[in-house]
Amino acid sequence: MAWQIVRRLLIFVGSVLVASLAVFWLLSGIGDPARVQLGTGATEEGVRQLREQMGLNRPFFTRYLEWLGGTLHGDFGSSYISHAAIGPQLADRLSVTLWLVLGAMVLSVVVALPLGMLAALWHRRWAGTLISGITQLGVAVPAFLVGILLIALFAVRLGWLPSGSYVVPAQDPGGFLEHMILPWLSLGLVQAAVLTRYVRTAVLDQMGQDYLRTARAKGLTPWQALLRHGLRNAAIPVLTVLGVQLVTILVGAVVVEQVFVIPGIGQWLVDSVGNQDLLTVQAIVITLVAIALAVSFVVDVLYTLVDPRLRHG
Amino acid sequence: MSRPVGPARNGAAEADGPVLQVSGLRIGTRRTELVHGVDLRMGRRERVGIIGASGSGKTLTCMAIAGLLPPELVVTGSVRLAGVDRDLVGAPERLMTGVRGRRIGMVFQEPMTALNPTMTIRRQVAEVLLRHRTVPRSAARRVVLDLLASTGLPEPDRIARSYPHQLSGGQRQRVVLAIALANEPQLLICDEPTTALDVTVQATVLDLILERSAAVDAAVLFISHDLAVVATVCDRILVMQDGHVVEQGATVDVLAHPEHPYTRQLLADADLSVPAGEAS
Amino acid sequence: GTSSSSSSSSSSASSSSAGAGGSSAGGATSGSSGGSGSSGTSSAAPVSDASLSIGFILEPTSLDFTQADGAAIPQVMLTNVYETLVKLDQKGDIVPSLAEKYDVSADRKTYTFTLRSGVKFSNGTPMTADDVKFSFDRVTTAWKPAIKAEMGVVASTTVVSPTVVEVTLKQPSNSWLFDITGRVGAVFSKTGVADLATKPIGTGPYVFQTWNRGDSIVLQRNDAYWGQKPDVKTVTFKYFKDPSAMNSALLTGGIQVVSTEQTPETLGQFKDTSKYQIVQGATDGEVMMTMNDGKAPLSDVRVRQAINYALDKQAILQGAWSGYGTVIGSHESPNDPWFVDLANKYPHDVAKAKELLAAAGQSNLTLNLTLPPVPYATAAAPIIVSQLQEAGITVKASDVTFPVWLDQVFGKADYDLTIINHVEPRDIATLWANPQYYTRYDNKEVQQLLAAGDAGTQEQYVADYKKAVGILADDAAAAWLWSFPNLMVADANVKGLPKNLVGEAFVLSDLSVA
Amino acid sequence: MTVTTAGPDPVPDRAAGEPAVVVESVSRRFVRRRGPFRPARVVDALDGVSLTVPRGARFGIVGESGSGKTTLMKIIAGLDAPTSGRVTVAGTDVTGRSGRQLDDLRRRLQVVFQDPMGSLDPRMRIGQIVAEPLQAQGRPGVREAVDRALRQVGLDPAIAGRYPHQFSGGQRQRISIARAVAPDPEILIADEAVSALDVTVRATILELLETIAAERSLTLIFVSHDLSVIRRVCDRVAVLRAGHLVEAGPTEQVWSHPQDAYTRGLLAAVPTLDRALAAARQRAGGAGGTGVAGVAGGTAPGRAGVAAGEPAGAPARQRAGGDPGAGSGS
Amino acid sequence: MAEPVSTATGPAVSPEPAQAAVAPLPAAERRRPGALLVTGGTIVALVVVVAVVSFFWTPWSTIYTDVLHWHAGPGTAGHLLGTDIRGRDVASLLMAGAQTTLYVGLLAVGIAAVVGTPLGILAGMTSRRWTEVILRITDLWLAFPALLLALTFATIWKSSLTSAMIAIGVATIPSFIRVVRSGTVVVMSSDYVQAARVAGRRGPAIAVRHVLPNVMGLVIVQVSVAYAIAILAEAALSYLGLGAGPTTPSWGRMLFENSSLLQAGYPVVLLWPGLAVALAVLGFNLLGDGLRDRLDPRLVGR
Ligand SMILES: Nc1ncnc2c1ncn2[C@@H]1O[C@H](COP(=O)(O)OP(=O)(O)OP(=O)(O)O)[C@@H](O)[C@H]1O
Ligand SMILES: Nc1ncnc2c1ncn2[C@@H]1O[C@H](COP(=O)(O)OP(=O)(O)OP(=O)(O)O)[C@@H](O)[C@H]1O
Ligand SMILES: [Mg+2]
Ligand SMILES: [Mg+2]
């Protein structure tokens, strides 16, 4: 167990190094933070001076090592642009996005599991085809459109829910829920559509299996058999997809964050990339890498929980 | 059909009506018929064996009785079970779920795939108990261990905690049997329940089937290729070939005085100490 | 110093003297007729507890405009938190603010500002001439953004007395006085610049309260303010990346004001005047299709003129910005004192365009249009491409990111055509008097006129600039499209919204909620 | 208690070549991880098993279910690696080898898996499945060979286009056998290869195996619960129990003089038709008679005489043509 | 060897019962494509045809802006489906957008599937150490924002549809790896893979003949989902200045550009590209589902 943890840690450190080097290298080739900071009012002289001040003229590796040194001290540094410390902001933004993403994932799972199973169970009936069709449309509808439509209906027309903005759950749990319902819906429904497709496939893959017949011989309805037996066996691909979704949506939520004015990490990443704010991008990417590794660890553990055959001897 | 179902020798079973009455059962795909009209009548406590060629429709017949045929197969005819006032053929799923696992227990042919690879044995056995609420949840744990032990499994506690892939074929087969017997069904259908078992375990399992079915007054529909096993278990035998029941009657009659050439052939081939060709 | 031989305007002079009396009272109760010089502040009734949320698009990257650039910072901080010695009124005239009055020497090189007394910073220290000198000196020494160059013309700043400060310029400059109505003129506390990014300290009617990054900035009324206290107690600057989200927020009561409407085509949903008001005015921004004047074939004036003839600017304005804004023909905004209407300089005339192209030997012209990711550019581009196509010019439009645009187009002038809104007020000299600028426009006469006008009297200033604007139009130095409108939508009960966006600040002190 | 056949007395008749399979003190331990945070549990499926299968032998392995037969088969076939010990097939060590190194083994050895359904790729047609070893080994005339193999196991070659799930259990098992015999292996491991077959088909298959064995000196390793099948087919037999080899030797010797109590128990438990019939008759005759099976049937009219003989019956007749069973020390 | 056996077999086992019962299914039944396949195929074919036609002919030029008719309703002034927010002919844009859509699918999804599927299979088949290496790289890659990739590629090749699509494709690879690997692991634990080993198949052949067909269902779903995402991502990237220029017709971009018309009260303009995207995605997905079901013999004929 101890070795497991050490190994994971080593992997993590290695991944962070690789990712940070990649980000450093990619961004340094794309544009000039000094120029971005000075904007359209810039003079060549001004840009040169600022580059000097920001230390951008030093060699690539010097800058990289300096950053690394800071990070090793647990310090993400301060933004090139805002000069504010990155760490605390990262924590805030990340928590916002995590709420958004986790809520949406829960919603999508709750919607997708039954729908996917129904679509599989009825795969030759019109109802199954209908579910497949609707979910496919769901995949095709961009989340921002869903968002705008939801706002137009529930916020503007009916006035039931606020049209956006974020409320810290610790301060006002009710308000938090009220504000998150629409974002969760618009992100979650699209994800649900995607997930439904995987559930359908995974469940169909299980439908011909003998153990389902055994389950039915016990007196389970086809539905129960699928629910208790099929689903568990379909869980491996579904879990995988969930893991992948969880990581990719973190950034992918940017559009929903935009439409619902949620100060999350996706939006911040886009801004920071736009501002050439290298240190901020660096911090965000490293956080994402950490999350990805954590998620894949959790998914691996879940694999072995749902499918004992994967516990290698 | 050579031998009509005469007045049964074990009249006791007939006294309170048949447990199972199958008539004119036909099974087929959309273009070929696979089973051509099977008639079968089983009394209480009666044990009926089906023997026959591989692919002759034995499994399909059993599946049809339990309503578990794959959806691409079509079934006609009638299957009636005592205590159920509906024909099981074409019965609604709701009815069938109440019947399966409760009134009809099933042991399948292939033990390797019959169990859910992702669930512990304990849960899989307990499920059938809890599904029909025959045992309170609190007692389920103990009942499961008892059931496993009664099938002759060593270390029932370890087995209960295992997953199917950790068990040998025979161990799995006994688990399936435990599931089938859990709710003391009226009718136990065993599709080659002992093929994966060694002879000692087989003897135990056969004893178990005999003993438990007797204990709960269950009728047994038993498929096996091992004539000795069939003879051990069954009072009556059906011989199937190519989707037809070619002969049926009391075990002793059929096995000792076979009439249909196919039955004779079977008996001839059953003796392994003599090569088939020379024996006949 | 003598009395102003030519102060910015007579009105400002009179207002400054009026302000003197008002400020001495300086009290909390009757701050009427303060130097704010704006209308709508006459009510002496006790101030309300109202709060207001205003939607914006661009969030500041920092609160400290001495270190970071970008129009979003002064929009929040200037005039509201920090104040300047003089400021602009709605007409664009320069009026006193922290200075009760100012005098200009005869050679127009020395400005003497008499400061208002009783003004306190939000950290409690009184505002004195020392602070002004400290602030002005600090621009050239400690500021980072390029805008600090505006203070380059100052030779020295001298403290005459605690309430009088004297600024001497290297040469006369009209723009300097205008410039110090902006960021570089902000007066900081000598003891309060340690942490400008998180603890801004100013003299303004509002104090900074909180900033939820990525979401909003909250300002609170400064109850110790020297002048007329604003009506609205709490103002939230709420930031929206998505224009339609901002509209929705207004519709659902999340905000009360949309400070700038980026999707003018959606204004229809605010038709109901009992609920909403649409405020339409001018900004200092010119949306223009800049051409690379230093690179063939665009270095040929005939080609540039042909392009101008080929464009139906009214249609472009209609299609891209639903007709909001004013078509312009040169580098000028209706806010500028030298504004002349040159919109019809190049009427839409495809035949003429083709003719000019033929004359230039460019009948089969292909140009690249490099677009920064801004809504007006992406909106105007398709129409421009279509119209130029009709005149026989094939345009290849491509999108780039903003850093790439800055690097390639703005930094290296590696482009043919681009579309951008130059929002800085009175930036004509920046664009057209510097041959190294990305416009690559090199016209000695224009350079001379702009320099002379800046150094000359106010009248000369206006006259020379008018002339320069005319030459730019003749040269078709760019294809100016429209003057960017100040388009605001607000709840009907919000009063005091500025019609024109003058200067860099979004002025809050005039707002009230009925 | 480990009994090895590779012991002191070598097989006299087969001195010519090296043994087909030599298993040297092979152990296989399964570590069952029970979730990431709980201690693992250990199962010794095989524990120090040694045995030698001479070339051309028909070697039976019996044992109770769970005794490690399948595990041993997989190790011999190079599908699983022993935790310790060594397996030599036709002179080459196969333990711990993979991929290319096993090519030679693959050409010589085929396996009929215990679980017919699981060992048939559900997405492959029967024809493809049976053809697979032939194709993998680049044999010519695949089609004919497939047809022949299917016919040999009593299936119509026309079914080659269908999928595994469309067959009955016995049919699947025959497909599995067809796949194994199609490439003419030198060594055939059959794990419960005939358990799902009716007696008629079983007889055919056994005959088929015997014929192949006789004609091309096939080494047959036959795992079964069915002792009568083992006795009929195999000249030598090994008895496994709980991962240990409890007894091994020439079949008839083990049959007539079982050394181990477990073996004796096994033999005694073999059901025979006449005993069963006698019991059945008793049940049927004595109205309400107890269903207890008597030990041996008295008179067995009709066909009873043809039924299986007593455990200690005469040597099987069919072996006359083949190699005489080799004696072995025990 | 056949002779003695077959003579021995002859009388003992009559092949007839098996033969009668196991008659081969007529080819017609096996070949009959499902409704999913037909519908999906038809829609996809329609998109292809429209794309091809648009190379040669569209009702209007796709760059022509009708300055008299902004976001006009269907049928106005010869615009069959009306005009968009910039006065361009919607029908023409839709037709030409089909090209982009197909290109997007081929390039982005193609890259992801062609690279990701083999890697995923590899990760599920190789030794634990290599699996670990591949998976950890995948995690890293997964976490790496597509936006950054898009930026980089846009810098290397100048922003274009191709650079954006390569970025999306490359960014989608890890999800293929993960999904395919999970399926592979399950397949690899089955007996039929062991049987194939015994048959003499080596890793690559097992991968192609056993693993691939058995994970194909997952791959197909992954492809169809990735396809929908790619279409929308193309639009999003081009809006950030990382994709095709504003004059390249694309359905995703039409959605983005016209989205404000929803609030402006002209939702119908949005309807067309929305329908087009939906239809294309639907088509590809139905085709995918159909293929998937086709590939599962247990479902054929049900
Ligand atoms: N993958 C595994 N993980 C853990 N334990 C296993 C595994 N495979 C087999 N075992 C255990 O090893 C023992 C031997 O199993 P094996 O399958 O070899 O038995 P067998 O002799 O073939 O039995 P049967 O005749 O019933 O098929 C059993 O106790 C089984 O539970
Ligand atoms: N799903 C199916 N589709 C088509 N034919 C089928 C299907 N299932 C079974 N069959 C055919 O039906 C016939 C009877 O099958 P069944 O499983 O009942 O045989 P069985 O008597 O149980 O044989 P075994 O002893 O080999 O298990 C076989 O010929 C088989 O090929
Ligand atoms: Mg069967
Ligand atoms: Mg086994």
pLDDT per position as a tens digit, A184-203:
888 888 888 888 888 887 88
* Whether residue B2 has pLDDT greater than 70: no
State the fold for domain B18-103+185-280. Answer: Rossmann fold (3.40.50)
Q: Which one of E139, E189, E289 has the shortest CB-CB distance to A15?
A: E139
Q: Give tens-digit pLDDT for A190-244.
A: 888 888 888 887 888 777 777 888 888 888 887 888 888 888 778 877 888 888 8
User: Radius of gyration (Cα) for chain C, nearest Å?
Assistant: 23
Say whether E203 and D161 touch across the interface (CB within 8 A). Answer: no
Give the residue, B276 or C361, on which the prediction is more confident.
Answer: C361
Distance from the alpha carbon of residue E147 to the mean position of ligand 2, in angstroms: 56
Residues A50 and A131 in one domain: no
Closest chain D CA to residue B279: D306
Closest chain D CA to residue B69: D166
Among D69, D74, D115, which residue has the most ligand 1 atoms within 8 Å of its CB, making it the best to mutate? Answer: D69
Nearest to C95 by CA among C149, C148, C34, C42: C34
Domain boundaries, chain B: 18-103+185-280, 113-182
C-beta neighbour count of E26 within 10 angstroms: 9
Per-residue pLDDT tens listing for chain E (302 residues): 333 333 333 333 333 333 333 333 333 334 445 677 888 889 989 999 998 998 888 888 888 888 777 777 777 777 778 888 888 888 888 898 889 888 888 888 999 999 999 999 998 888 777 887 888 888 888 777 777 777 777 767 777 788 888 888 998 898 889 888 888 888 888 888 888 888 878 888 888 888 998 888 888 888 888 888 888 788 777 777 777 778 888 888 888 888 888 777 788 888 888 888 888 888 887 788 788 777 777 665 43
H/E stretch holding C470 reads helix C458-475
Q: Where does the pLDDT of residue D327 fall: very low under 50, low under 70, confident under 90, or very high at 90 and above?
A: very low
> Per mean pLDDT, which range of B235-244, D162-171, D268-277, E226-235 is the poorest?
D268-277
Ligand 1, closest atom to CA D31? 4
CB pairs < 8 Å spanning A and B: 82
pLDDT at A42: 67
Distance from the alpha carbon of residue B221 to the mean position of ligand 1, in angstroms: 29
* Whether residue C26 has pLDDT greater than 50: no
Give the residue, D36 or C493, on which the prediction is more confident.
Answer: C493
Residues A201 and A164 in one domain: yes
Say whether D308 and B210 touch across the interface (CB within 8 A). Answer: no
When pLDDT is averaged across residues B147-153 and rounded to a whole number, the result is: 81
Distance from the alpha carbon of residue B219 to the mean position of ligand 3, in angstroms: 20
How many angstroms separate the CA atoms of E269 and E82, rounded? 8
Give the residue, D44 or B197, on which the prediction is more confident.
Answer: D44
Q: Apex CA D203: angle with CA D197 and CA D204, to 5°?
A: 95
Class of residue C46 by CB neighbours under 10 A (exposed 0-12, middle 13-18, buried 19+): exposed
Write the residue with the smallest CA distance to atom 19 of ligand 1: D66
* Whether residue C1 has pLDDT greater than 80: no
Amino acid of residue C488: M
Amino acid of residue B176: V
Residues A53 and A114 in one domain: no
Write the residue with the smallest CA distance to atom 24 of ligand 1: D65
Residues A41 and A130 in one domain: no
Q: What is the DSSP letter of C172?
A: -
Assembly ipTM: 0.74
To the nearest 5 percent, what fractions of chain A are helix, strand and coil?
80, 0, 20
B and C adjacent (3 or more CB pairs under 8 angstroms): no
* Whether residue D287 has pLDDT greater than 70: no
Residues with Cβ within 8 Å of D311's Cβ and at least 6 positions away in sequence, in order, are: D255, D267, D268, D270
C-beta neighbour count of E258 within 10 angstroms: 25
> CA torsion sign, D149 to D152 to D158 to D160?
negative
Q: Where does the pLDDT of residue D13 fall: very low under 50, low under 70, confident under 90, or very high at 90 and above?
A: very low
CB pairs < 8 Å spanning C and E: 105
pLDDT at D97: 67
- Average confidence score pLDDT of chain A: 78
**Predicted structure pTM score:** 0.76
Contacts 24+ apart (CB under 8 A), E279-282: E279/E43, E279/E47, E280/A140, E280/E43, E280/E44, E280/E47, E280/E98, E280/E101, E280/E231, E280/E251, E281/A136, E281/A137, E281/A139, E281/A140, E281/E224, E281/E227, E281/E228, E281/E231, E282/A133, E282/A136, E282/A137, E282/A140, E282/E40, E282/E43
Bridge partners of C282? Answer: C485
Q: How far is E209 from chain D (nearest CA, A)?
A: 9
Write the residue with the smallest CA distance to atom 8 of ligand 1: B166
DSSP letter string over E101-141? HHHHIIIIIHHHHHHHHHHHHHHHHS-HHHHHHHHHHHHHH
Q: Is the CB–ligand 1 distance for residue B168 below 6 Å?
A: yes
Q: Where does the pLDDT of residue B14 fall: very low under 50, low under 70, confident under 90, or very high at 90 and above?
A: very low
Q: Which one of A41, A155, A275 has the shortest CB-CB distance to C147?
A: A41
* Whether residue C219 has pLDDT greater than 90: yes
The residue among A72, A89, A117 that closes a domain is A72
pLDDT at C471: 92
pLDDT at D29: 86
Closest chain C CA to residue E64: C386
To the nearest 5 percent, what fractions of chain D are helix, strand and coil?
35, 20, 45
The ligand whose atoms approach the alpha carbon of B168 most closely is: 1
The CATH number that applies at residue A197 is 1.10.3720.10
Residues A52 and A118 in one domain: no
Bridge partners of C102? Answer: C113
> CA torsion sign, E266 to E268 to E273 to E274?
positive
Q: Which of A105-109, A271-275, B4-8, B169-173 has the highest mean pLDDT?
A: A105-109
Instruction: Name the residue with tokens 């290695």.
Output: A14
pLDDT at D98: 65
Q: Which of A45-49, B136-140, C479-483, D53-57 has the highest mean pLDDT?
A: C479-483
* Whether residue C186 has pLDDT greater than 70: yes
Residues A56 and A117 in one domain: no
Q: Give tens-digit pLDDT for C132-146.
A: 999 999 998 888 777
Q: Is the CB–ligand 2 distance for residue B65 below 6 Å?
A: no
Q: Chain B partners of E23 at a C-beta cutoff of 8 Å?
A: 32
Q: Chain D partners of B268 at a C-beta cutoff of 8 Å?
A: 306
pLDDT at E299: 61
What token pair was written down for C386?
């279509």
Residues with Cβ within 8 Å of E217's Cβ and at least 6 positions away in sequence, in order, are: A201, A204, A205, E292, E295, E296
Domains of chain D are 4-259 (3.40.50.300), 271-325 (no CATH)
Q: How far is C419 from chain E (nearest CA, A)?
A: 13
Closest chain D CA to residue E26: D161
Say whether B242 and E17 touch across the interface (CB within 8 A). Answer: yes
How many angstroms separate the CA atoms of E87 and A79, rounded? 43
Q: Which one of E198, E213, E296 has the shortest CB-CB distance to D110?
A: E198
How many angstroms separate the CA atoms of C501 and C497, rounded? 10
Q: How far is D226 from chain B (nearest CA, A)?
A: 7
pLDDT at C43: 44
How many angstroms separate the CA atoms of D145 and C290, rounded? 79
Residues A39 and A142 in one domain: no
Q: Give tens-digit pLDDT for D173-190.
A: 889 888 888 888 888 888
Write the residue with the smallest CA distance to atom 25 of ligand 1: D65
User: Do the bridges between strand B47-52 and strand B219-223 make them parallel or antiparallel, or are there none, so unpaired?
Assistant: parallel
Q: Assess contact for D283 and D291: CB atoms under 8 A.
A: yes
Q: Assess contact for D197 and D170: CB atoms under 8 A.
A: yes
Residues A44 and A112 in one domain: no
Instruction: Name the residue with tokens 């403290």.
Output: C159
Helices (H), A173-209: 173-207
Say whether E241 and C382 touch across the interface (CB within 8 A). Answer: no
Instruction: Name the interface residues of A facing B (CB cutoff 8 Å).
Output: 209-211, 213-222, 224, 228-229, 232-233, 235, 306-309
The residue among A72, A107, A127 that closes a domain is A72
Q: Is the CB–ligand 2 distance for residue E20 below 6 Å?
A: no
Judge whether D118 is closer than 8 Å to chain E, CB to CB: yes
Q: Give tens-digit pLDDT for D215-243.
A: 777 888 988 877 778 888 888 888 888 88
Say whether A307 and B119 touch across the interface (CB within 8 A). Answer: no
The ligand whose atoms approach the alpha carbon of A313 most closely is: 1
Q: Is the CB–ligand 2 distance for residue B54 below 6 Å?
A: yes
In a domain, A93, yes or no: no
- Chains near D, with 3+ CB pairs < 8 A? A, B, E
How far from D2 is each of A313, C103, D241, E76, CA to CA, in Å? 25, 116, 11, 94
Q: Where does the pLDDT of residue D268 fall: very low under 50, low under 70, confident under 90, or very high at 90 and above?
A: confident
Residues A215 and A118 in one domain: yes
Q: Where does the pLDDT of residue B226 fall: very low under 50, low under 70, confident under 90, or very high at 90 and above?
A: confident
When pLDDT is averaged across residues A246-265 and rounded to a whole number, the result is: 80
Judge whether D181 is closer than 8 Å to chain E, CB to CB: no
Say whether B272 and D62 touch across the interface (CB within 8 A). Answer: no
How many angstroms separate the CA atoms of B131 and C351, rounded? 86
Say whether E15 and D109 touch across the interface (CB within 8 A). Answer: no
- Average confidence score pLDDT of chain C: 83
> Per mean pLDDT, which range of C48-57, D69-78, E260-269 is the poorest?
E260-269
Q: Is the CB–ligand 1 distance for residue B116 below 6 Å?
A: no
Distance from the alpha carbon of residue A215 to the mean position of ligand 3, in angstroms: 18
Q: Assess contact for E244 and E160: CB atoms under 8 A.
A: yes
- Chains near E, with 3+ CB pairs < 8 A? A, B, C, D
In a domain, A199, yes or no: yes
Helices (H), C7-128: 10-25, 72-77
* Whether residue B180 has pLDDT greater than 50: yes
> Per mean pLDDT, which range of A36-40, A112-116, C241-245, E27-31 is the poorest?
E27-31
Q: How far is D106 from chain A (nearest CA, A)?
A: 25
Write the residue with the smallest CA distance to atom 5 of ligand 1: B166
Residues A244 and A196 in one domain: yes
Q: Where does the pLDDT of residue B6 fall: very low under 50, low under 70, confident under 90, or very high at 90 and above?
A: very low
Q: Please tell me the total count of domains within chain A.
A: 2
What token pair was written down for A184?
């969760």
DSSP letter string over C221-242? E-TT-SSPPPS-SEEEEEE-SS
Nearest to D305 by CA among B233, B267, B265: B267
Instruction: Name the residue with tokens 């207001």.
Output: C52
Q: How far is B116 from chain A (nearest CA, A)?
A: 5
H/E stretch holding A2 reads helix A2-28
Q: Give tens-digit pLDDT for C371-424.
A: 888 888 888 998 999 999 888 899 998 888 787 888 888 888 889 999 998 888
Say whether E263 and C248 touch across the interface (CB within 8 A). Answer: yes
Nearest to E131 by CA among E122, E144, E118, E140: E122
Contacts with E, D 283-312, CB within 8 Å: none
pLDDT at A40: 67
Give the residue, E26 or A180, on which the prediction is more confident.
Answer: A180
* Whether residue B201 has pLDDT greater than 50: yes
Q: Give tens-digit pLDDT for C88-117.
A: 887 778 889 899 989 998 888 899 999 988
Q: Is the CB–ligand 1 distance for residue B166 below 6 Å?
A: yes
C-beta neighbour count of D286 within 10 angstroms: 9
Cα A227 to chain centroid distance, Å, stands at: 27
